[in-house]
Chain A
Amino acid sequence: MASGKDLSVVICGGAGYGVQTVEDILAKVLKRSGYHVFATREYMSRVRGGNNSTEIRISSTPVDGMVDEIDLLVVLSPGVRENIRNRITKNTVIAADRSSVGEEFEKTDGALFDVALGEMAKEAGGAVYANVIAAGLVLGITDASTDQAEEYFRSRFGKKGDKVVDENRSACGKGLELGRDMAEKFPDLAPPEKDDTSSRRVMNGVQAVSLGAIAGGCDFVTAYPMSPATGVLAFAAQNASEFGLAVEQVEDEISAINMAVGASYAGASPMVTTSGGGFSLMYEGFSLAGVAETPLVAHLAQRPGPATGMATRTEQGDLNLAVHAGHGEFPRLVLAPGTIEEAYSLTARAFEIAHRYQVQSIVMTDQYLLNTFRDVDPDDLTAAKPDKCLVTSGPGYRRYEDVPNGVSPRSVPGLGKEIVGCDSHEHDEEGHVFEDFDLRVRMSDKRFRKGELLKEDFVPADIRGPENWTRLVLCWGSTGPIVSEALKDLELSDTALMRIRQIWPVAEDVVAAVERADELIFVEGNHDGQLENLIRSVTGRSAQGHLRNYCGLQFSVEQVRMGLSEILG
């Protein structure tokens, strides 16, 4: 059973059974009822069938990580897969329709609560309502507000007419009754206390990246659909007129980035959104942006590779891909948000820095983070005022003026009366091809002086732990909050956690912390220890231990807790 402060609910069902709808109902109604909610989804690469799941943690305090523990498993369709079955314990209560799932749970440890989901759904108006009944069941266990549930159905289905609203409400009501029965039968399933969550907002990773980009001044989005990055393209397209965004689904990733470079040259603030396979196609255009010094942001949503890998799963396997993106040498910024708040703030920051230094930023998320939602404090979503840092060209203007800090004054065609050049070749100050070896060195040095600025104007790592720490656990991206929760449980008096948010260039604060530590432990979601290798190459320090996960699913809190316990003996 959860430690008394939260309830872990897993909803399982084939694609097409409406697991996502359950997620949506619960997130909104529970949050509006005063609970903190966290949810994350795992799904198969298919449109119908299979068996997907979502985990929802309902809590009295904010939670931000995936756990293995399942207090309540709600089963919408048979064929629950091993990754869920393995997590059923004697404390797990399973709500399933025995007439549909048969003997599936006979040999598991969990206690089965037989619910005639199919029958009840028919009564409510059709088989499609099974998921709404399931959502009601979860709400019934908690102390969720029935007014909020009503309000939800009115606002979500109002446009479809009263009948649809009523059927949904009645289905939910049936579920609520079931949930109350269950709560009596399984008193240990008691929900956590409520809190005042009225000022908080439920947001997922896709929304956080997208809104962060817009807050950072993004006005141009090009992409080719690819999981798990597509959500950001869809968000941009659906909100294009609201925010004045130029959005195009292009023929391939090559066109996506080259269109973005063209737009940036002409004064747009572009973002491309893709996954590893797509980003590798963008390398050539990314290099063009590098030599041309056109600011742009690439959102790189990781999934397991190589090639198609596991198309709908999660991994942190693309750190090298990002840090080494492109051919030739040029500075770039690589940021890795770990939380929903950071997905917003760091995406905005990626635009800020891209424009300030005329460089390319990569924001690294992954399937887990994008498909996670949680209630957040809107005040934690911070962004500087967007500034494209443009100048009006005057007489004698030269786009690539060799200035001391390397950041040439940037104008765009039509802003001023002078010519603005842009070239993929090594070029002179005006942007013209001029094959001269001294010029090559001068221009390359000019570009790399901007790289130094990225080390000075950096996003600090998040270091937390006892003041006298001697051991440092390091991680990056979405594993951060999970490691944080695991470490809290372990209560180690000598260990701090460093979540590195600016991956590249590695900044002074990271180097200093690594040098101070007696012992380094890395936790990351890949096979090779890409962050570990990067830190060793920069600092010369080797790790004393590491925990790696590359099965396609995110770490759970328990997995990290156990793994760290083993490493620490």
Chain B
Amino acid sequence: MTDPRIFDLPEADMAWCPGCGDFKILEALKKALADMDMAPEDVVVVSGIGQAAKTPHFMKCNFLNGLHGRALSHATGVKAANPKLTVVAIGGDGDMYGEGGNHFLHTVRRNPDIANFVYNNMVYGLTKGQASPTSPRGMVTPVQTRGVSSEPVNPLALAIVQGATFVARAFSGDVDHTAETMKAAIKHRGYALVDVFQPCVSFNKINTFKWFKDHTYRLGDEHDSSNRSAALALAMETERFPLGILYREEGRPTFEDSLGIYEKDDTPLHRRSPDVDKVRETIDSMA
């Protein structure tokens, strides 16, 4: 077991508000990676835009901090170019489910071997408190002045219905459980979603630390995570939200598998040389 401090970036200029749930998620992430004996150069953290998406600037590892909503596309590209890398895609609920909603839907279907951690605080933090796709109905904000009128996105149900092979939820208030869930997601071969509840101390006065405490519960051993219908039923629960691995399916081919180019040769693309002679042969075989 490695010391999580190898992922520390001492000179980082932390931009999160004091008391933000993101700190605990970052702590859990470093712990998860260290527990798995990973080194900073083995890992690529890919993110979009938002407070959560700043994560790779606050830790030591390879990183691609790209565009709002596009982290899953970036991450899929990274993994496809080099399946040997451990690829983690990080963003907030607005980034992943709003701006990136279409990519979320199709990344689930594509099943790349990446772990997707969504810091879900049910509000837009970076732009100061507008509704996010997971904001509860009725929440009043500077923009949704009559209260949120749309139904919140149910990311877990959506992922399960679209065929995700790993679907889980965690709460930033429980670092150890979050880290364990993250480890399982990283180890999972295929797309793995962990929706991490987290309070926004500045802008969400409804879904507070206490609210999450009161409205979540840990899944017990009796839940069979290979049972898709049972997982979906749990994902549909909205009175109290279950924490843990709702669904896990092993053995489905990943996106990288389906590309076919790694079947006989697992060399990453950057170490391969194109076979230019074959281009000549192809031209010569033409009419």
Binding site for B on A (CB under 8 A): 27-28, 31-32, 201-203, 207, 211, 214-215, 217-220, 222, 239-248, 250-252, 254-255, 258-270, 284-285, 288, 292, 378, 381, 383, 385-386, 388, 390, 412-425, 431-434
Contact = CB atoms under 8 A, between A and B. Distances in A.
Given A251-B102, A255-B106, A422-B63, A415 B274 contact: no
A431 B276 CA distance: 34
A262 B75 contact: yes
B44 interface: yes
B143 interface: no
B283 to A, nearest CB: 5
Main secondary structure of the interface of A (DSSP, over half): mixed
A258 B74 contact: yes
Nearest to A373: B287
B260 A214 contact: no
14 contacts: A220-B77, A242-B282, A243-B278, A258-B67, A259-B74, A262-B78, A267-B81, A267-B269, A268-B77, A292-B66, A378-B284, A412-B270, A419-B40, A422-B66
B65 A424 contact: yes
Contacts of B286: 201-203, 207
A243 B275 contact: yes
A284 B70 CA distance: 10
Contacts of A390: 270
Nearest to B13: A434
Nearest to A387: B273
A561 B277 CA distance: 42
Contacts of A245: 261
A219 B61 contact: no
Interface residues of B, number: 58
Given A220-B269, A267-B81, A414-B268, A262 B46 contact: yes
Contacts of B280: 378
Contact of A433 (B41, B54, B67, B105): B54
Given A285-B70, A423-B64, 7 more contacts: A202-B286, A203-B283, A218-B274, A219-B272, A268-B81, A419-B62, A419-B63
A7 B90 CA distance: 62
A240 B261 contact: yes
Contacts of B271: 267, 415
Interface string B79-119: 11110110000000000000000110110001000000000
A246 B269 contact: yes
Given A250-B73, A415-B270, A262 B41 contact: no
Contacts of B65: 421-425, 431, 433
Given A414-B82, A419-B61, A269 B269 contact: yes
Nearest to A259: B77
A134 B70 CA distance: 51
A251 B105 contact: yes
A261 B66 contact: yes
B228 interface: no
A209 to B, nearest CB: 13
Interface string B10-46: 0011000000000000000000000000001110101
Nearest to B273: A386
Nearest to B262: A246
A59 B231 CA distance: 69
B67 A419 contact: no
